[in-house]
A and B are shown apart, each in its own frame.
Chain A
């Protein structure tokens, strides 16, 4: 029965079900079990971003598959690899795309400060056949702090926005896939331990105007990412603090069920009597 199922699809389905806190460890386990899946899994499953320090500028940057060359990662601030690539130069974007990348990094550094008030951002662009592609990465962690009611809470947010831009006459077509990994934890004597973690993925395609060549691309990508993150933040809020809480209430009712069903019956009678019967 399972003979026709693609192992890669099954691996993705498995990772969608197992504890999202353990995704990185589970990818390692899957790669050991089925080494042929390794490349595809590393490319298509997002895990919390690692941070490195750029030696030339002293600034932190984020690491992903798109700025990696072997065991080195390219800093968006200096365009240099950390640590230096052993053989040869390492792949860097063309001059035009690098100019846009520099501009985008400056813009998203402002975006990061306005929305995250801290954290780290990195933008990487690369050349593709009919335009260019890129990813916008944002990461912020809040260390364990005592919140209301004596609860100790901690959290981390990782955004991974990957897009492709295809140049047309006076517009460009963008395809954006966004993942947010949000991990939250709470701990208190009366609460015990609570872990609320996971990731959500959304996609959007859009045509946007190009008025000022390359500067327009940065503006367009900025707007798309900003809209997407606003939507996703609202969605995460709804799922984490609305849906998850509702399911707990569906499992166990604080109010006695006989009372709530009696209330419902009374309510129904009232509505029927108002109906004039």
Chain B
């Protein structure tokens, strides 16, 4: 049997896009809104927010910024390159406060800034709504590109999230990372699409921001085409193999004459698979 904190952490980790608040309210209604629940939820919220690339608007700002392990300063503080600021993030309320100016110190500072420009143009062309962050990574040997796109439609019972993470290493020209897609549909049911794909691509060493952006665009396009094809393949293979739409005769069963069908006895049904 798992402990209470493990159980609550697994609930939070499995919360669908845009539904963390409802999941949390459910948890509190079940366990009671008490200190031991809050204690268990705190670390789970931090893990969720950092892994899901939570977005938050800094006080007075119009565009949201990303919260992730890639721009964490420790102690609940995160930084944003675009607005040259650092801030405190409350993982429970998802609010930012105590904003201070932040000066990026990195030998890749120029690449980070030019990547923000060229990637935001790319993002605007393919994501109706997305938030982007670029940060020095791997002890300043590389840069991390973090992108999250959310679309929530709770009135129509669906929510979705696309996450991209890439690390570019200028010395080798390698671009590696992952794309994750999470879709939840919950009208009279609970249907979930969880897709993830590790990606890697070789660019030239010290590639320019536009070249890296083209690399990202190519990887994403290929993946999305592959994912679209996979829907068709799953429908044609596994789904069709489970249950026919109609019997092979293309007619519904004549239940009044069901004892006349000899199939059942002839093949000793019920024993296979």
Nearest A-chain residue to B256, judged by Cβ: A219
Known: A17-B186, A223-B255. A192 touches B26 (CB 8 A): no
Pair B242/A155 contact, Cβ less than 8 Å? yes
Which of A33, A110, A140, A188 is in CB contact (< 8 Å) with B263? A110
Pair A253/B128 contact, Cβ less than 8 Å? yes
Known: A10-B29, A118-B273. A193 touches B191 (CB 8 A): no
Known: A2-B33, A14-B11. A241 touches B232 (CB 8 A): yes
Q: Which chain A residues lie closer than 8 Å to B127 at the CB level?
A: 251-253
B residues touching A (Cβ–Cβ < 8 Å)?
1-2, 4, 7, 10-11, 14-16, 19, 22-23, 25-31, 33, 124-128, 149-151, 158, 160-162, 179, 181, 183-186, 188-198, 220-239, 241-249, 252-253, 255-256, 258-259, 261, 263-264, 267, 269-273
Pair B190/A241 contact, Cβ less than 8 Å? no
Q: Which chain A residues lie closer than 8 Å to B22 at the CB level?
A: 13, 17
A10 and B22 CA atoms in complex are apart in Å by 9
Q: Which chain A residues lie closer than 8 Å to B10 at the CB level?
A: 22, 26, 29
Known: A115-B243, A245-B228. A257 touches B125 (CB 8 A): yes
Q: Which chain A residues lie closer than 8 Å to B28 at the CB level?
A: 2
Nearest B-chain residue to A51, judged by Cβ: B273
Interface mask (A234-245 → B, CB under 8 Å = 1, otherwise 0): 101101110111
CB distance from B211 to the nearest CB of A (A): 19
Q: Which chain A residues lie closer than 8 Å to B261 at the CB level?
A: 110, 114
Pair B253/A111 contact, Cβ less than 8 Å? yes
CB distance from A181 to the nearest CB of B (A): 10
Nearest B-chain residue to A14, judged by Cβ: B26
Question: Which of B220, B237, B238 counts the most chain A CB atoms within 10 A?
Answer: B238
Pair B7/A33 contact, Cβ less than 8 Å? yes
Pair B193/A29 contact, Cβ less than 8 Å? no
Pair A18/B253 contact, Cβ less than 8 Å? no
Interface residues on A, range: 35 or more
Pair A251/B264 contact, Cβ less than 8 Å? no
Nearest B-chain residue to A77, judged by Cβ: B270
Q: Which chain B residues lie closer than 8 Å to A199 at the CB level?
A: 189-191
A246 and B89 CA atoms in complex are apart in Å by 33
Pair B181/A251 contact, Cβ less than 8 Å? yes
Known: A110-B261, A140-B242. A200 touches B226 (CB 8 A): no
CB distance from A69 to the nearest CB of B (A): 22
Pair A200/B191 contact, Cβ less than 8 Å? yes
A156 and B239 CA atoms in complex are apart in Å by 8
Pair B233/A149 contact, Cβ less than 8 Å? yes
Pair A107/B228 contact, Cβ less than 8 Å? no
Pair A197/B231 contact, Cβ less than 8 Å? no
Pair A59/B264 contact, Cβ less than 8 Å? no
Which of B183, B227, B236 is in CB contact (< 8 Å) with A147? B236
Pair A33/B4 contact, Cβ less than 8 Å? yes
Q: Which chain A residues lie closer than 8 Å to B271 at the CB level?
A: 58-60
Pairs of residues from A and B, 6 with the lowest C-beta to C-beta distance, nearest first: A192-B197, A198-B191, A155-B238, A200-B189, A147-B237, A10-B29
